[in-house]
Structure 1
Amino acid sequence: MPPCCRGEPIALHPAGCGVKKFTNDVHMMDDINNNQFLAARSDDGPTEPISFPQPTIGNCELRSTLRAYDPTDGTCIELHDVIVSEGSGYAYWLRTTLRKAIYGSVVHCPVLTRSSSPSSVNADWVITKMECAIKIVELEELKSKGAAGEHRSENPLKEIAAVQHLMSTSSSTPQHVLSIFEAVQDEDNLYIVMPFCRDGELFDLVSDNASFDEIQTRSIMKQILVGVKAMHDAGICHRDLSLENVLLHEGNCQIIDFGLCLRVPQHEGLRRDTKSIRMKPQGKCGKLFYMAPEIYENTDAFNPYAIDVWSLGAMLFMMLTSSPPYDRPSPTDDMFVWFMRGEMEEIIKAWGLQLSSEVIDLMSGMMCVDPEKRLTLSEVLEHPWMKNL
């Protein structure tokens, strides 16, 4: 059985940006040269994505040194590389780099608040027990890549806009979608401040455990489906759902990386989670192991919610088998031919796996090559396997 290997995002349309400063000292995106982001609505035939509301981005200052009081031992220490937000009043100590990102890096940061009695502790700031993760985006890198027209796998400005839109339109805080505390910038960098998920990627958990049993897998899938339903209810198609894009924290799953998402028009004639929605091809994007075949072909109109369901099916497959379903969703791929034939049961038997008929039926429905016959998200949630305790 082939080992579970990390899927890497592939190219998509170029993205550029411009940032405009407003009189209230809040920065907002002024222009994005990305036909996935700004598009006209069409009521006739396949539609284009529509724009998100402009993301709110505040100002901050990066201080090379900052004196802070540590209440754990009652001492004052000098910190290096601290972001001070002008809007929220918090400061973030850039302590440990977690990983590199396409436009910069992701850093683990203790959170600081202003001292209520600076004279008594001999410091203006206090280190709290709170912690966060900050995605640092180099503005020059972001602008140069966009200006050069290079294909990138994510758009950080779109990510901010999408998550802020989701949070603002939901009646309560969306569960199992990683929120954004705030987004701030200085002259050099954009900083996206998010909760810190201590237990890493779902991908790593699957790799370390070879595979999950059906009970473990169902528990995880239920959480992910709650997050995806919140996105779809808000008219957001993720387009890059994967094990790598789910973080874990104390048993909770959090969906991340909205840089490829699309906002789906919800005007008359289009209904969420129905098979009648069609969007014009938007380019190949995402990771090959999770990519729906219609996105890989990139020739015909597609249902934006259906491609997320396919990706969820691939994630379910990989959790149960610890193997990618194919190398690429193409008729030239020998493994994918089995999926084209609808032979999920034969695939499982050929690998010598013992899975229930219910979960095999669910994967078959989620990874049906014909989008018209593919299960909708509502049908996935109502499937007998998902309802088992």
Structure 2
Amino acid sequence: MPSPQRKRKVTPFTTLLNFVPYKKPLNYVHSDLKQSTKSSTKSGSNQPTYRQILSDHNYSLIKSLGSGSYSKVKLAQNSNKTSLKVAVKIVNLSKAPGDFLKRFLPRELEIWPKIEHQNIIRFFDSFEDSGYVYMILEYASNGDMLTYIQKYGPIPEIQSRGIANQICQATKYLHDQNITHRDLKLENLLLDQSNSVKITDFSFAKFNSKHDLSRTYCGSKSYASPEILTGEPYDPHKADVWAIGAIMYIICTGKMPFNENRGLKKILEEQRNLVFPWFRFQLSESFQKLICCIFTYNYIKRPSIEVILENEWLKEKNSSLQSLPDNDKDL
């Protein structure tokens, strides 16, 4: 006779916003998802597997997409008639740092479901089960932009313009909702089956009015504005704009705009002087001017996303992204 199945606590999204954080030191660790096959979850005999939990919610687990120190991303498929493939972000509440549980995870769960834009990954559902938070997300089958650039190199300017427009339009949408992303980078730009760009990962996102300054220094050093690197209170809207400048530079050149391996003083000097080796790249003068405009050292004088979208370079002819090669074939 089979043993009775243990009842599990399943918490809906609305309750998740009020859960008591796991007590851990507040030394915040960024949850960048990296490819890994190592499993760090210890499961007892009564601990349900990811596959069992997803099955209870009508999803069939297909494979792992990536993992970090306290989160994983799985590919799953809806068991109903639509057979929709989704990405499932799974956060281990017992391993995540206390500051993440207290501040960042609740914000992500509050903000992401409210967002609806064609160039932002859709948030379908979330629930807590057996000490893990599950987020059901839109699946972008062609992977992330960083992997794409590493595989194929820089993208021609006419197609880069289309990518930049999509990123800027999505960012304007966020800023219009008083939402700042605060971690825009190539790894957080996904490509769907038609190579449309989708912003993902709202771990650091926050509601900010146009005049609110932020004092949480998050994101990645390679995309960080001078005021973040120097630890000053900063305008997160303008920090998002700076990060977009770094993204555009990398997409068009295949290189980082600033050498993050140098000391802080040298990086700030590079950011202030803006001496780029344009002679190595066949890029238009209008693109070069736009990049230097975005990389305005003083964030007060740095253009807003609305001003960037009115720039002549972004208004020039662009090519369909569908002509780009696939980063990864869909299953």
Fold shared, TM-score > 0.5 on shorter chain: yes
| 2:10–2:128 contact (8 Å) kept in structure 1 | no
CA shift for structure 1 position 130:
1.4
Aligned partners of 1:325 and 1:335 also within 8 Å: no
Tell me which residue corresponds to 1:281: 215
Give a deviation string over 1:93-140, Cα, whole Å, max 9, x none.
122011003422100001112xxxxxxxxxxxx7x5311110011122
- Please identify which structure carries the higher strand content: 1
Which structure is higher in helix share?
2
Q: Residue 187 of structure 1 aligns with which residue?
A: 130
Among 75, 80, 100, the residue aligned to 2:67: 100
Deviation at 1:28, TM superposition (A): 3.2
Aligned residue in 1 for 2:276:
347
RMSD: 2.8
| Structure-2 residue corresponding to 1:384 | 312
Partner SS, residue 76 of structure 2: strand
Contact kept in structure 2, 1:133 and 1:196, CA below 8 Å: yes
2:52 paired with 1:81: yes
Give, in whole Å, the separation in 2 of the partners of 1:182 and 1:221. 29
Name 2:144's counterpart in structure 1: 201
In the aligned structure 2, how far is the partner of 1:64 from the partner of 1:316? 41
1:259 aligns with 2:213: no
How far apart, CA to CA, are the structure 2 residues paired with 1:239 and 1:64?
33
Match for residue 227 of structure 2?
A: 294
Contact 2:59 2:79 survives alignment (8 Å): yes
Q: Is the 8 A contact 1:326 1:335 kept in 2?
A: yes
What is the Cα deviation at residue 81 of structure 1?
3.1
Question: Letter of the aligned partner of 1:260 in structure 2?
Answer: F
Of 249-258 and 322-331, deviating more is 322-331
Judged with a 3 Å threshold, the aligned counterparts in structure 2 of structure 1 residues 280 and 63 are, in CA distance, closer, same or farther, namely closer
Does structure 1 residue 139 correspond to structure 2 residue 93?
A: yes
Tell me the SS of whatever aligns to 2:280. Answer: coil
TM-score by length of structure 2 reads 0.77
Q: What is the aligned partner in structure 2 of residue 45 from structure 1?
A: none
C-alpha contact (below 8 Å) 1:330/1:336 kept by paired residues: no
1:165 aligns with 2:114: yes
State the alpha-carbon separation in 2 of the partners of residues 25 and 243 from structure 1.
Answer: 29
Taking structure 1 as the reference length, what is the TM-score of the superposition? 0.66
Check the 8 A contact 2:65/2:75 in 1, yes or no.
Answer: yes
Aligned to 1:9: none
For 1:246 and 1:234, the matched residues in 2 are separated by: 20
- CA distance 1:333–1:216, shift in 2 (3 Å): farther
Number of equivalenced pairs: 282
**1:176 and 1:255 in contact (8 A); partners too:** yes
**Unpaired segments ≥5 residues, structure 1:** 1-19, 34-61, 66-79, 114-125, 167-172, 266-271
Contact map agreement 2:75 2:86 (CA 8 A) in 1: yes
Larger Rg: 1
Q: Does residue 370 in structure 1 map to residue 313 in structure 2?
A: no
Amino acid at match of 1:315: I
Give structure 2 stretches of 5+ with no counterpart. Answer: 1-8, 22-46, 318-331
Matched AA of 2:276 = I
